[in-house]
Amino acid sequence: MAEIRQSGTWGSALTADEFSAIKSTGFEPAGQVLGAAVYNVGYTGGYTCPAYGSRYVGGFGAYGGVPYSSVTATSSSGMLGSYAPLVQTMYAARRTAIARMTAECRELGGHGVVGVRLTIGGFPAGGLEFKAIGTAVRAPGGVQLREPFTSDLSGQDFAKLILAGWVPAGLVLGISIGARHDDWATISQSRWGAGNTEVSGYTELVNATRHDARHQLERDVARHGADGVVLQEMEMRVGEHECPIQEGRRDHVVEATIIGTAIAHFGKPRATRPPLAIMSLDPQRRQAARVRLGP
C-alpha cells in the first residue's frame, strides 16, 4: 500500500462512466482495495429437527407421527434446529473481509470505498473464501475520517447520493436462515391433487425468514448511526433435506440475504449543472426541428 501511494498512480475497478461521475462530486480514486478471509465452516447448527415444540396428532412425539402444526425456527431465535452458528460465521467472515478492505483504504489515504462487491466462493484447499473488493476514493483537502465509509453503490449512484445531500455510512447486512419441518397441512396442501391452494407452512417460512433478515439489517443500520439504507441486493435461496430424526420426512430451509449501504444526511442538495443542448446528427431530425422552431 505504501508503494502504491508513493508511486503517484492508482488502480480502480471503475468504468469510465463511474470515474467521471465520482470526479464530478469532488472525489477522486485512490486505488483498488481488497479484503479476504477464508473460513472453515465446521458446525452450522440445524443438525436436529426444528419440529421440537410442534404439536402432534394423537400426542406422538418427534420420533413418530406427523405434526399437524410445525414451527419455523429462524437463526436469531435460538431454537433447536436453527442455523445460528452458520449465520454468525457468515457475519464474522464478511465483516472481517470488509475490515481488511477498509484498512487498505486508510493506508492509501482514502475517505471511503465505493462499488464494493461481496462474494463467497469455495477455496481449493477447503472452506469458503469471503472477499470484498472495491475502489478507494478521497476528497482532496478533506479531513481524514476516523473510519472510512464503505458502499456497494456504483460510481453514478454515489454521485447522485452526494449531490442530493447524503453520504454513505457503511455497508450493512441482514442475514437469516429459517427451517421448518413437514407438518400435516404442508403435506396435504402440496401433494398432487390438492389443486390451486396456498401452502401455509411455506408461506410462514418465507415470511418469517425475510422479516428476520430485515430486522437484522435495521440493527446494522442503527449500529452505524445512520438515518436509513439504500439496497442493491436482496437474495433468497430455498432448499430442503431429509429430516435427521424422522425417516421419510423433510425439513425445508430458506436463506435470506440483504446487502445495502447505510446513509446519513449531511447537507442541502448541491446545485445541479444546467442541461446541455444536443444537436442531432440526423438530417431529417434537424429539418423537423427547424420546421417546429421556424427560420
Report the distance separating Cα 52 and Cα 69, nearest Å.
11
Report the distance separating Cα 54 and Cα 64, nearest Å.
12
- The candidate with the shortest Cα–Cα distance to 136, out of 295, 280, 5, 236, is 5
For residue 63, pLDDT beyond 50 = no
Domain ranges of the chain: 2-293
Residues 6 or more apart in contact with residue 134 via CB below 8 angstroms: 13, 32, 33, 101, 113, 114, 115, 116, 117, 150, 151, 152
On whether the CB atoms of residues 31 and 108 are closer than 8 A, the answer is: yes
pLDDT at 155: 92
Give the dihedral sign, CA 115/7/16/164: positive
**Average pLDDT for 171-188:** 87
In the chain, what percentage of residues exceed pLDDT 90?
Answer: 48
CA 289 from chain centre, in angstroms, equals: 47
> Which range is least confidently modeled, 90-99, 162-171, 267-276?
267-276
For residue 59, pLDDT beyond 50 = no
Type and span of the H or E element at 214: helix 200-223
When pLDDT is cut at 50, 70 and 90, the band that residue 58 belongs to is very low
When pLDDT is cut at 50, 70 and 90, the band that residue 281 belongs to is low
Residues 6 or more apart in contact with residue 274 via CB below 8 angstroms: none
**Average pLDDT for 142-156:** 88
For residue 273, pLDDT beyond 80 = no
pTM of structure: 0.78
